[in-house]
Amino acid sequence: MTDRLNDISDKTRAQTDMASDAKSDEIDFGFQSVPRDQKESLVKNVFNSVAKNYDIMNDLMSMGVHRLWKDALMDWLAPQPNQTLMDLAGGTGDVALRFLKRGGGNVHIVDINEEMLQAGKARAVMRPYQDRLSWIVGNAESLPLETASVDRATIAFGLRNVTNRDVALSEIYRVLKPGGRFCCLEFSSVDNPLLSKIYDEWSFKILPKMGELVAKDRDSYQYLVESIRQFPDQYELADMMVTAGFAQVRYRNLSGGIAAIHSGWKLD
């Protein structure tokens, strides 16, 4: 499962490119460029559309491997009973459920999309944990949580949909307590040429067709595929976390870099 463990020094490698994300009037929406102030509503429309089929499509798109990736995330996070987790972009509750089952304390599930939160609340598997869950509609760039209020923070397959990722990382840093830890699970850059070719075939030829057949929505899944290719690679994301203030930043590749987990700590 874990292909590689990398330590990132406190000196960033490519900070100059990161600044342009906040300054440009346009931003990526898949392979399109759209006005920055429109991306949020476009992403909302995508997830409104896919919410009811989100979990089954995750299984089909990854052939179930996303479950192993989320288990690996929990292995690294190592939940404890006294910890409160903020799971950002956590709508259907997959990460929150794993945290609670592994012995974690309480979870704030924060998602900008009400439809995703409703889909999560409707899951029967979440009902035994309702007294330890809060479901919060909130924007990653302006989190509705107090400063230094959570012990752990996670985001799984959601950071690439955020308009200003640098601001979101700063907000995650803000709400963590000193000594708190952030882990990001996201699609990343494949490091094997043969695997990369197979992955591209699967992503661009199969997944949109699957979205059309199962979810009746080819366009949304076309966007999701394209958004993966637009997301920063392992080193770029690590640099962004360092810039936001995180220390001891490291990442682990999963499945040859199809996905990666990044970890960072708030030391003070």
Please choose, from the candidates 254, 219, 227, 257, the residue with its C-alpha nearest in 3D space to the C-alpha of residue 89. Answer: 227
Question: Would you state the pLDDT for residue 17?
Answer: 43
Q: Is the pLDDT of residue 18 over 50?
A: no
Furthest CA-CA distance within the chain: 49
Question: Would you state the pLDDT for residue 116?
Answer: 87
Question: Would you state the pLDDT for residue 54?
Answer: 63
Question: Would you state the pLDDT for residue 247?
Answer: 98
How many independent structural domains does the chain possess?
1
Average pLDDT, the chain: 85
> Where does the chain have alpha helices with state H?
15-23, 36-50, 54-62, 65-77, 94-101, 114-121, 165-175, 193-201, 207-214, 218-230, 234-243
Question: Would you state the pLDDT for residue 61?
Answer: 67
10-14, 52-56, 206-210, 248-252: which has the highest mean pLDDT? 248-252
For residue 141, the domain's CATH number is 3.40.50.150
The answer to whether the beta carbons of residues 215 and 224 sit under 8 Å apart is no
Which residues lie closer than 8 Å to 225 by C-beta, 6 or more apart? 30, 203, 204, 207, 208
Q: Is the pLDDT of residue 13 over 90?
A: no
Percent of the chain past pLDDT 90, that is, above it, reads 55
Boundaries of domain holding 140: 2-265
The answer to whether the beta carbons of residues 178 and 268 sit under 8 Å apart is yes
Mean pLDDT of 30-36: 76
Question: Would you state the pLDDT for residue 55?
Answer: 67
Mean pLDDT of 81-91: 96
Enumerate the β-bridge partners of residue 110.
88, 136
Question: Would you state the pLDDT for residue 205?
Answer: 79
Mean pLDDT of 45-71: 74
> Where does 63-192 have alpha helices with state H?
65-77, 94-101, 114-121, 165-175
The answer to whether the beta carbons of residues 91 and 54 sit under 8 Å apart is yes
Question: Would you state the pLDDT for residue 15?
Answer: 40
Which residues lie closer than 8 Å to 5 by C-beta, 6 or more apart? 250, 251, 252
User: pLDDT per residue over 144-186, tens digit each?
Assistant: 999 999 999 999 999 988 989 999 999 999 999 999 999 999 9
User: pLDDT per residue over 111-135, tens digit each?
Assistant: 999 988 998 999 999 999 999 999 9
